[in-house]
Structure 1
């Protein structure tokens, strides 16, 4: 009953987190905010233009400044890895200054450039750049009565297919005194923009702004890129808390999803507790094997018979364990606030590094499983485990990037990034996997409560609705229901330009999902064994993978109306790869839970 105690302890911790609503995560930035004096130039870097998954370099995507269209991106390797760029500032912003209207640049657009720009406006492209490391955006009201930043701003509006309205920028800044009651130095705490449109600066109009600047298809135009700056009153917000406004918190939705997941998990655990009570405590005579016994006790001599194709089986377990450990470590970094938008590229870099070094767990799990199943070709297992599935995953990832490369999107990996990923696989992941396989290949195999007979027992035929894979497909929806809301919150930053403060909620859902997968797999296995079907090995890894089918379907349904044209193939491959990773993850933890469960219940049996 140790498992039940652990599950109860975890559920109690989850219930405390739900009740206390611990959601104030600190987002750690790699750089401190700069101290500015009055009239000092603000640190401004242009970034990109985006529309859903499509992204272009700031000056190459739109004709703001044709002289800078071929400028190389600045920034760290991690920053570029995130699909971002840093380019020369377009607006000469100064600290603590307010002005009504200034002209940043003037561009003569040809008819073709006007047509391209109107097409960008129709596709709802948004402009992004950084001021003192803070991404700019529009200030929007949140559901809890506060405010949040919607990243970027629209480059224009269009009312018909033949014209578009050019957007100019109105900046809003908020500062904090470095030394209280001193006007010498200031921190920039908040920056937002309000999109407005006017032909140019003109004192004959209110606020120095004229009528909207319109572009007409097939017509050349002279465009003035103007801007204005304003500043709020001083704020008491600390510099380290200036990222909080980028993370609205959907309390009602997340709490509801957490409670639903909690209740589903409790019900499943009650069923498992009932099964274990029946096995261990219900009747003392259940522990004896008698002639004529039926059900799960009657197949004690076949239940530990090694499955077919156990080389493939062990490789799947090894890769799944590598993904599982990587996921746990990434979750810890995410909850600690190290993988937020204040650290652009940190998630992708951490994912690559952690996954590569977790090859250590892959080699260990695969070799131990292979030895346990009676395998003797240990070198083949070590080599195939280190190369086969990771190579397939890498090929799929590179295929998915072809559409990004062909369209010259900013998010397309550079040659340096591709070489880095390949080197991490060749010189870190493969060696660590082989090293761990080498150290455990001489260990004795794990022992079973019973040795299998030489002649396999016949398995009774079953009707279709008692098929265990059918049950796995149906009940695989329950873990998906637990994680469903969090998947939605992780997709929102990609398509809707805002992030949600959900690190603790995601951690709760992650724990509940794992418990659900393990418990459901145990219950289905118990039902399978009770029907005297001892072929539980492959079902124990294919069954949990059914949850990834629901994830794949949901990703397609969510993204289909948003990725038409330009990124459809990339998003399909992205969804498939995510689902494949999750299937391997679910399979490994489902199998380990099942292996413990089957060993535990058969260790209670003994002969009279």
Structure 2
């Protein structure tokens, strides 16, 4: 009956989650067929910089604007990432190449506008555009001997800086990329005579345009370019300098090139940026750790379940068995509730919630639902799944709390619903205030903040209560041995069995199993790159689960053999301490790989990495705790205690 209720709970979570996930963020991105001459509107997205990590909307800079700016509908994940997708004055016609097209002319650049351009150029900001759901990219040639001859950089820079010594002293000049040469790759279907966009590339130029007077915006007569031939045949052409009072003319070319690339493969150039051999090396390295730990667990299992269960025939063998199996001596205290038992139940429940969210998200990613073509899908999936998995959080925390003979299940339920998300949301709110102060598009709007509150208080909290009610109604988990009324005195422990040392040692191997993959995750988060190797990530996640479980079991066994029965919190902290190494690695990555200079940007980086590390602590700690919980119950249920 109990087993049936457990499966019914899982089925209820699935029934709630899957339809809502499909409705909210899993619609497929269907290919669009275009006839010759059909309009291809170009959309603009946020301005991004790896130096500041502060996104801004495209029209924060005085770029050319359409008659009316229209915002595209965005999902929750896109808004949280700072995406702001809007229309632009760039409109192409399918398979109709055009050169030297006028976008707009700024007669005199104001001091404020010039300052904005200089600031964004100095901070290495990049412009992001979208055509038929494809981001614009710059094609670069590799020089590192890689088998892939080219790589693609998402977006293009606002401008560049050069050193000039025209006035007799060296000074820095800011150049604006005001001419964009677009290349649109298309795949033509001869049967239907339609075409599909399979590539969107750009080359940037800084050109101080010259034209014949009088100026006619409908038919400008440029001497620097024309409709029949490209410009830039000479490097001596003066660039567009960013200075107050400068006249700036924005122009573009668009060339359509037929490609053999199929529509289904058009994202490959963005995704195939990393070397698979590195990921395989990471997995092999992690598997070696797992094999080593598995050998130790197998040895311990044989000792505990075979040798230690043998009967004592004479005094000598009893003494020998007692020396080798000290864990039996604490059978009357090993299931004594720990200090702060309620808090342990809260974190165990939150960990189960986070684990279920992570597992289901990775399954969806493996099935291809979370492609980068579905912008914001990954973050939206994680948020919605975390909300729905509140059912499991309440259920598991209540079951554990009842085993500890607790009675105030409503108080524990409230703590489960608010402790972990409350800490995360408080940090997030403070970071959002910093972003808001910088007037960045990364600041979460009021409407989105209200939506997050609704997901938390309107869905997650009630589901936690439902799960807790179901869990507390079930019979309490029975201990395999009785607990003594008087606690046993714990002998003095060796230095290497002290809690702080064993906990810190226990976190090294789980971190070692994932740190290579962690490098690619941090690169995608902070260096504006795509991460789509979910197959490798899923394998590493499974290795992480096994590593956390095995290292916790091994150290828990050694602890019990030392007659120290305070294993509850130690089991959680042993694998959970890997989060400390994750945060230290994040600090190392910050100083060695990033070029962040602003104080606010540094605070944002460490604030978000603190949230990630805290979540990793809850995840790995719960895995280790439940592995140790199963192990301890198993070994004490396998021996006959008088």
Q: Given the two structures, how large is their TM-score scaled by the length of structure 1?
A: 0.89
Deviation at 1:72, TM superposition (A): 5.8
- Asked if 1:606 corresponds to 2:640, the answer is yes
Deviation at 1:330, TM superposition (A): 1.1
Report the aligned-residue RMSD.
2.4
The corresponding residue for 2:22 is: none
Q: Aligned to 2:491, what secondary structure does the other structure show?
A: coil
The corresponding residue for 1:260 is: 285
- Asked if 1:352 corresponds to 2:362, the answer is no
Q: 1:263 to 1:335 in 2, by over 3 A?
A: same
The corresponding residue for 1:15 is: none
Q: 1:467 to 1:357 in 2, by over 3 A?
A: same
Deviation per CA, 1:266-285: give whole Å up to 9, x if none: 11111111111122234652
Deviation at 1:588, TM superposition (A): 1.1
Say if 2:129 and 2:136, in contact at 8 Å, map to a contact too: yes
- Write out the 4+ residue segments of structure 1 that deviate beyond 4 Å after TM superposition: 201-206, 286-292
- Asked if 1:578 corresponds to 2:636, the answer is no
Q: 1:144 to 1:337 in 2, by over 3 A?
A: farther
The corresponding residue for 1:163 is: 173
The corresponding residue for 2:6 is: none
Which whole-Å CA distance do the structure 1 matches of 2:295 and 2:399 have between them?
A: 32
Say if 2:187 and 2:258, in contact at 8 Å, map to a contact too: no
Which whole-Å CA distance do the structure 1 matches of 2:528 and 2:430 have between them?
A: 26
1:109-120 aligned within 5 A: 109-120=109-120
Q: 1:338 to 1:146 in 2, by over 3 A?
A: farther
- Asked if 1:154 corresponds to 2:157, the answer is yes
The corresponding residue for 1:535 is: 566
The corresponding residue for 2:595 is: 562
The corresponding residue for 2:353 is: 322
The corresponding residue for 1:244 is: 268
The corresponding residue for 1:172 is: 183
Deviation at 1:146, TM superposition (A): 5.4
Say if 2:29 and 2:374, in contact at 8 Å, map to a contact too: no
Say if 1:148 and 1:247, in contact at 8 Å, map to a contact too: no
Deviation at 1:115, TM superposition (A): 2.7
Which whole-Å CA distance do the structure 2 matches of 1:197 and 1:417 have between them?
A: 39
The corresponding residue for 2:91 is: 92
Say if 2:362 and 2:538, in contact at 8 Å, map to a contact too: yes
Deviation per CA, 1:362-402: give whole Å up to 9, x if none: 00110011011121222222222223332232222211211
Give structure 2 stretches of 5+ with no counterpart.
1-25, 164-170, 211-221
Which whole-Å CA distance do the structure 2 matches of 1:298 and 1:246 have between them?
A: 60
Of residues 196-205 and 533-542 in structure 1, the stretch that sits farther from structure 2 once superposed is 196-205
Give structure 1 stretches of 5+ with no counterpart.
1-27
Deviation at 1:508, TM superposition (A): 0.7
Q: Aligned to 1:88, what secondary structure does the other structure show?
A: strand
Q: Aligned to 2:88, what secondary structure does the other structure show?
A: coil
The corresponding residue for 1:223 is: 248
2:417 to 386, 392, 396: 386
Say if 2:188 and 2:258, in contact at 8 Å, map to a contact too: no
1:87-486 aligned within 5 A: 87-107=86-106, 108-141=108-141, 143-145=146-148, 147-160=150-163, 162-167=172-177, 168-180=179-191, 184-200=193-209, 202-203=222-223, 207-209=230-232, 211-216=237-242, 219-235=244-260, 237-248=261-272, 249-282=274-307, 285=310, 293-294=322-323, 295-486=326-517
Which whole-Å CA distance do the structure 1 matches of 2:472 and 2:112 have between them?
A: 66
Q: Aligned to 1:103, what secondary structure does the other structure show?
A: strand
Say if 1:111 and 1:221, in contact at 8 Å, map to a contact too: no
Q: 1:595 to 1:109 in 2, by over 3 A?
A: same
Q: Aligned to 2:249, what secondary structure does the other structure show?
A: strand
Say if 1:55 and 1:409, in contact at 8 Å, map to a contact too: yes
Say if 1:128 and 1:152, in contact at 8 Å, map to a contact too: yes
Q: 1:67 to 1:94 in 2, by over 3 A?
A: closer
Q: Aligned to 2:247, what secondary structure does the other structure show?
A: strand
Which whole-Å CA distance do the structure 2 matches of 1:606 and 1:326 have between them?
A: 40
Which whole-Å CA distance do the structure 2 matches of 1:65 and 1:204 have between them?
A: 20
Deviation at 1:320, TM superposition (A): 1.2
Whose radius of gyration is greater, 1 or 2? 2
Which whole-Å CA distance do the structure 1 matches of 2:487 and 2:545 have between them?
A: 33
Deviation per CA, 1:442-476: give whole Å up to 9, x if none: 22211122111111111111243331431221231
Say if 2:309 and 2:639, in contact at 8 Å, map to a contact too: no
Q: 1:505 to 1:541 in 2, by over 3 A?
A: same
Of residues 39-48 and 531-540 in structure 1, the stretch that sits farther from structure 2 once superposed is 39-48
Of residues 569-578 and 527-536 in structure 1, the stretch that sits farther from structure 2 once superposed is 569-578
Q: 1:607 to 1:466 in 2, by over 3 A?
A: closer
Deviation per CA, 1:108-155: give whole Å up to 9, x if none: 312332232122111110000101111111123574425443210111
Aligned length: 576
Which whole-Å CA distance do the structure 2 matches of 1:222 and 1:573 have between them?
A: 42
Which whole-Å CA distance do the structure 2 matches of 1:128 and 1:289 have between them?
A: 80
